[in-house]
Amino acid sequence: MAFRSIVYILVVLIVEVLSGQDPKRPNIVILFADDLGYADLEVYGHPTSHTPNLNQLATNGLLFTQFYVSSPVCSPSRASLLTGRYQTRSGVWPGVFVPDTAGGLPLNETTIAEVLQPLGYHTAIVGKWHLGVGKEGMFLPTNQGFDEYLGIPYSHDMCPCNFCFYPNVSCLSKCDDQYTACPLFDGGSIIEQPADLTTLHDKYLNRSLHVISDNAAKGTPFFLYYAFHHTHHPKYAGKQFRNTTIRGAFGDGLAELDDGVGQVMAQLEKSGVLENTFVLFTSDNGPSLRWEKIGGNAGLLKCGKGTTYEGGQRVPAIASWKGRITPGRTKELGSTLDILPTICSMVGVPPPQTTIDGVDISTLLFEGGKSPRDRFFYYPTTVKPDYGLYAVRYRQYKAHYYTQGSVNSDPNNHDPDCRPTAKRTAHNPPLLFDLNQDPSELFDLSNDTDYASILQEISKVKAQFEATMVFGESQNSKHTPDVEPCCNKPCDPFPQCCTCSKSKKDFHLRYMP
Helix crossing, 52-60 with 248-270: angle to 10°? 50
Which of 46, 50, 122, 130 is catalytic? The answer is 130
Which residue, among 37, 25, 8, 19, has the nearest Cα to 310 in the 3D structure? 37
CB atoms within 10 A of CB 414: 7
| H-assigned helices in 368-451 | none
* Spatial separation of the C-alpha atoms in residues 311 and 468, rounded to whole Å: 27
Say whether 130 is catalytic. Answer: yes
What are phi and psi for residue 291, nearest 5 degrees? -90, 5
Exposure class string for 428-456: b at 16+ Cβ within 10 A, else e: ebbbbbbbeebbbbeebbbeeeebeebbe
Q: At a CB cut-off of 8 Å and minimum separation 6, what does 265 contact?
A: 53, 56, 57, 274, 279
Say whether 498 is catalytic. Answer: no
* Spatial separation of the C-alpha atoms in residues 251 and 304, rounded to whole Å: 18
What are phi and psi for residue 386, nearest 5 degrees? -65, -30
| C-alpha distances in Å from residue 29, one per residue of 175, 221, 226, 264, 359 | 30, 11, 7, 9, 19
DSSP H or E run through 49: none
The backbone region for 168, taken as left when phi is positive above 0, alpha when psi lies in -120 to 50, beta otherwise, is: left
HSE-up (13 A, CA, CB side) for residue 23: 8
Structure-derived torsion over alpha carbons of residues 222, 236, 496, 480, reported in degrees to the nearest 10: -50
DSSP H or E run through 432: strand 425-434
* Spatial separation of the C-alpha atoms in residues 346 and 362, rounded to whole Å: 8
SS (H, E, C) 153-184: CCCCCCCCCCEEECCCEECCCCCCCCCCCCCE
Which of 46, 74, 161, 303 is catalytic? The answer is 74
Give the residue numbers marked as catalytic.
Answer: 74, 130
